[in-house]
Structure 1
C-alpha cells in the first residue's frame, strides 16, 4: 500500500538554550529539548520494531516439522476426475451400490513447503491435527520429488497386492514372481545383481515367495556365498552372491518385490494419491465388482489399511486424521487395522462406528454384516 504525496513540512527553529549561568548554578529551570525522546519512549519504540521483526521472522522462517491434517475420502466404487476408479476387462462384472471409501491424510510441510510457528500454534489447538518431526516423512538428504516417487511406487505395489487378493477370493489363479526391487549400493555382490531380476531358486531349491528367499539366504552364515537362480531378460542365470550380516541374519543386500500374473485385466485409477494404505479398500472394491450383488448393501463404509498378497491387513499412519476425514465425508462405518486400535480408542468422532479387521476375509465379512444390518457382534477396538 502506498501513501499519497504530501506537502513539504516546514520545521520550526529549535528553542533558544537556557542561559548558561542559570544552568550552571541551578538558579533557573533547564529547558527540555522537545525533539529528544525520553528513555521510556526509546525503549517502547525499540520493542515495537523488535516485535515487528520477530513477527516477520515467524512467518518467513520454516521449522523442521510437518502437520498431519484430515484429507478427503474417495469412493473406490465410483469415479475420480470423471473416470471410473476401478475398471475390469476379461471377466464378467456386476453393478455396485453404496461406497467403499479410502481415506487420506494431508501433510503440510516438507521440502519446499516449510511450516511456521503460526502454523504450529494453529495445529496445536486443533484436536484433528498432529505435529511430527519432518524427518519422519522426509529424511535428510531426500528431496520432495524422491519422496513423491517412492510414495507413487508404494501405491502401485499396493494396488497389485489388492488385485491379487481379490482375484484369489473369487477363485481366479494368480501367479507370483519374486523379483529384486532394488540392490543396495554397498551390497557385497552389487555388481552381479540387478533390479528386475526374478529369483526362482536358492541353492538349487525352487522358491515361490519372499519368505522362501529369505529363509534360504538366512540359512547361511554371513560371509558365505549363496547360489541364486535368476531369470534375467527372459534367460536363466545363476549368481554366486556373497552374504553379509543384517539384523542378526545373513542377507545379500537386496530389497525384494513381487510381480504378479493376472488372468484378467484390472486397472485402478487413484489420481495423485500415494502410499500403500488404500490397499484393503481397493481389494474390497475389486471383489465387489467381480461378484453379484452390492457388497455394501448401499451403505457408505470408509476404511484404511495396507494389504499383502496373503490377505493380511497392516497398520498405517495418520489413523486419527483418517477417522475425522471419514466422518466429515459422511461415512457411518470405518474399517480399522487391528494394529492401529491403540490409536483409535478415544479418538472416534461421534456418529462413526469402527470395526477392527486384521485380514481381507474379516473386512469382507464386516462389510457383508453391515449390509445385512447384523452389526451387534462386529469386533471393535474396545472388545
Structure 2
C-alpha cells in the first residue's frame, strides 16, 4: 500500500515536471506571479472595514434567545410607545478577533457604503481580541449607567418621582459608548405617559455623560445609512458631528443635531408631534 502511494506521487511529479519543461520561462514566471498574487489577496489585511451595522429599538425587546426588554424598569410604572427609537451601529471587520483578508479590503475600496482605514486608526497596535472585547464591553456598561443617571436626573428636574426606580439595560453583540443618548431617551419615554415618538421610527447616536451632555461618535455616515435601511425617517446626531452629517444624509432621512439630552428630548417630541417644519434638518 505504501509503495503504491510512492509510485503515484513519483508519476505525478514527473508529469508536472514535463508540463513545465514544455512551457516558456515567461509563462512560468507569469504563473508564479498569479499564484503569489492569490496568496497575497488571501492573506490577513492590515486594514479595518466598516459598514452599516444593525439597529436596535431601545423601546422593544431583544431578538436573540433571551427575548428580554432592552430597557427593563422596576419600581415605577412604565408606558408603551407605538413608535421606535433605534440605536445605530457600525459593523467593523479587521479589528482584533475579526480578521479580514486583503481581497475583502480591496472590494471595500470600491463600495461607497464601506469605509476602509488602517487598523492603527481604529485600535491600538498590538491590542488582543480579549482586550478589544473587554474595552468595548466596559464602554457599553459605562454608557448605559451614565444614560440611566442622565435620564433620571432629567425626569427629576421635571417633577417626576424617580425614587426607588431600578433600571437594567440589555443588548446583544453591541459594544462601545455611542448608544448612550438613545438609551437615555428610551428610558425617559418608558417612564412618561406621553408617546414621544408619535408612532414614528426615529434613529440616533451619540455618547452621553451623567450631566446630559451629548458627545461625538465615529461612523455617523454609516449609521445614517443603517437607520434609513431599517425604516427611520428622522436621525438625531451629536452637534459635534454636524460637519460630517452635512451633505451625507441619505435621501428620505431628515436629521437634527443636538448637544444635550434636553435638546434631544425637545427634538424627539417635536418630531413626534409633527410640529410644522421644526426641528429643521441640516
TM over 0.5: yes
2:116 is the alignment partner of 1:128: no
CA spacing shift, 1:292–1:154, aligned 2, 3 Å:
same
Higher helix share: 2
CA deviation string 1:285-324 (max 9, x = no partner): 1001100121101100000000111111000011111011
What are the superposed Cα offsets for residues 226-254 of structure 1, whole Å, 9 maximum, x if unpaired? xxxxxxxxxxxxxxxxxxxxxxxxxxxxx
Between Structure 1 and Structure 2, how many residues are aligned?
261
Distance 2:98 2:233 in 1: 34
- Secondary structure in 2 matching 1:84: coil
Answer whether contact 2:49 2:92 (CA < 8 A) is retained.
yes
Q: Scaled by the length of structure 2, what TM-score is found? A: 0.86
Does structure 1 conserve the Cα–Cα contact (< 8 Å) formed by 2:198 and 2:273?
yes
Structure 2 unaligned residues grouped into runs of 5+: 1-7, 12-19
Cα separation, 2, equivalents of 1:375 and 1:312: 27
TM-score, L = length of structure 1: 0.64
Q: Does 2:269 correspond to 1:354?
A: no
For residues 302 and 264 of structure 1, the distance between their equivalents in structure 2, rounded to whole angstroms, comes to: 26
2:267 corresponds to 1:366: yes
Shift of 1:379: 3.9
Distance verdict in 2 for CA 1:172–1:44, change over 3 Å: same
Runs of 4+ deviating beyond 4 Å: none
In the superposition, relative to structure 1, how do residues 169 and 139 fare at CA in structure 2: closer, same or farther (>3 Å)? same
Write out per-residue CA displacement over residues 309-365 of structure 1, whole angstroms, 9 at most, x where no aligned residue. Answer: 111100001111101110111111100111111111221111111111111111111
State the 1:375 CA deviation.
4.7
Q: Residue 42 of structure 1: CA displacement?
A: 2.7
- Are positions 1:295 and 2:205 aligned together? no
Aligned ranges 1:87-126 → 2 under 5 Å: 87-126=72-111
2:55 is the alignment partner of 1:55: no
Q: Matched residues in 1 for 2:163 and 2:135: separation?
A: 24
Which has the larger strand fraction? Answer: 1
Native 8 Å contact 1:64 1:114 kept in 2: no
Counterpart residue number, 1:272:
173
User: Is 1:163 equivalent to 2:148 in the alignment?
Assistant: yes
Distance in 2 (alpha carbons) for counterparts of 1:362 and 1:112: 38
Asked whether the equivalents of residues 96 and 132 of structure 2 are also in contact (C-alpha less than 8 Å), the reply is: no
| Aligned partners of 2:79 and 2:191 also within 8 Å | yes
Please state how far the C-alpha of 1:146 moved relative to its aligned partner. 0.7
Note if contact 2:242-2:257 (Cα within 8 Å) is conserved in structure 1: yes
Q: Note if contact 1:164-1:262 (Cα within 8 Å) is conserved in structure 2.
A: no
**In 1, distance between residues paired with 2:75 and 2:84?**
24
- What is the Cα-based RMSD across aligned positions, in Å? 2.3
Select the structure of larger CA radius of gyration: 1
Classify the secondary structure of the residue corresponding to 1:101: strand
Deviation at 1:57, TM superposition (A): 2.5
